[in-house]
Structure 1
Amino acid sequence: MTVKDSRTADELLDAVGPAFGKLRRTSLLEVENPISAKDLSRTLVLNLIQEHNREPGSEVTVGRVAELLGTDPSVASRMVSDIIKAGYLVRAASQLDGRRTVLELSPQGEELMTRFRKHQRDAFDYITADWSDSDRLDFARLMLQYVDSLDALKTRGLAKDA
């Protein structure tokens, strides 16, 4: 279902920021196998760790979590401690520097992220159920293009950490 938006170009572009702020709330939709609000907040950190641990030669420490979240190290430390207590993260010795401790998802953390990804897909399907297939795929392509452009800022040096 395509609906013509009557807002001006500036109004549309000004509305993008607040719209992005609402996107995370889609994870709270009551679709099949919901994620608790507490686990939802944990997925923010788990996703960062999972994503950065996939990069060759990259290891994530509590300090790195603080940098990625743009928060104080003590806040990141409390968040990480909570996630470890919940069983979703484990501390491990660094393979690059044995004196450092790095963070890795536990099997339970991997399972939570698998459930979270399914929940995100279910929410997307639910929200866009009355959209045309073309609109759904266009939105998905443009969202991924946006995220790829954000990641590209790292190589251009325009963002500390996208």
Structure 2
Amino acid sequence: MTKHQADEAEALLDAVGPAFGKLRRSSLLEVAEPISPKDLSRTLVLNIVLEAEQDDGREVTVGAVAEHLGVDPSVASRMVSDSIGAGHLERGASQQDGRRSVLHLTDQGRELMARFRRHQRAAYDQITADWSERDRVELARLMLRYVSCQEALRGRAKGA
């Protein structure tokens, strides 16, 4: 690799973090079934509960939401309360410790997440419409690999 190619590679790698930040900060394109900014924010919490149910059925508490999002427990509590008030989440007693409250998606919460997934896919299709099918699939594959590695790293950090 030449010095110029190495410099270009470094510049691209340095730009990845800010690019991911822009993805999270920007709302998805206006596509079919738009998601309101408030519901878009709620999906952060709902996704944690949905993934726990789908992956291993573990119980999710407000504390787990705070830890996963990297926010103060009081912030997570407000986010959870907002989702409960909107009818997307409900509290229930833990099957493992009846003194703990755990979170469950309501049918309305499941519908919002299904709509959000359709919205994400429509936005991806719209954004990458001019790309080759090979490039679209390759980005999807690499993004899923990246997320898997990120989750593994988080798991190792918890175990340390």
Asked if 1:14 is matched to 2:10, the reply is no
Asked if 1:127 is matched to 2:95, the reply is no
CA apart distance, 1:151: 1.7
Q: Identity, % of aligned pairs? A: 67
User: Which residue number corresponds to residue 37 of structure 1?
Assistant: 37
User: Distance in 1 between the 2:101 and 2:108 partners?
Assistant: 20
CA apart distance, 1:57: 5.3
State the one-letter code of the partner of 2:96.
L
Q: Is the 8 A contact 1:27 1:119 kept in 2?
A: no
Q: Which runs of 5+ in 2 are unaligned?
A: 1-6
Any idea what the Cα deviations from partners look like across 1:60-95, whole Å, max 9, x if unmatched?
Answer: 111111111111111111111111000000001111
Asked if 1:91 is matched to 2:94, the reply is no
User: Which residue number corresponds to residue 49 of structure 2?
Assistant: 49
Q: Is the 8 A contact 1:92 1:102 kept in 2?
A: yes
User: Distance in 2 between the 1:117 and 1:56 partners?
Assistant: 20
User: Distance in 1 between the 2:133 and 2:55 partners?
Assistant: 33
User: Distance in 1 between the 2:117 and 2:55 partners?
Assistant: 20
Structure with more contact order per residue of length (Cα contacts < 8 Å, sep ≥ 6): 1
Q: Is the 8 A contact 1:63 1:76 kept in 2?
A: yes
Structure 1 residues 60 and 50: CA distance shift in structure 2, 3 A: same
Q: Which runs of 5+ in 1 are unaligned?
A: 1-6
TM-score for the superposition, normalised by structure 2: 0.89
Which piece of structure 1 moves more, 41-50 or 22-31?
A: 22-31
Q: What SS does structure 2 have at the residue aligned with 1:19?
A: helix
CA apart distance, 1:134: 0.5
State the one-letter code of the partner of 2:116.
F
User: Distance in 1 between the 2:30 and 2:104 partners?
Assistant: 29
User: Distance in 2 between the 1:24 and 1:154 partners?
Assistant: 19
Which piece of structure 1 moves more, 11-20 or 25-34?
A: 25-34
CA RMSD of aligned residues (A): 1.9
Structure 1 residues 57 and 38: CA distance shift in structure 2, 3 A: closer
Number of residues of Structure 1 aligned to a counterpart in Structure 2: 154
User: Distance in 1 between the 2:79 and 2:10 partners?
Assistant: 38
Q: Which has the higher helix share?
A: 2
User: Distance in 2 between the 1:25 and 1:136 partners?
Assistant: 22
Runs of 4 or more, structure 1, over 4 Å off, are none
User: Distance in 2 between the 1:149 and 1:17 partners?
Assistant: 15
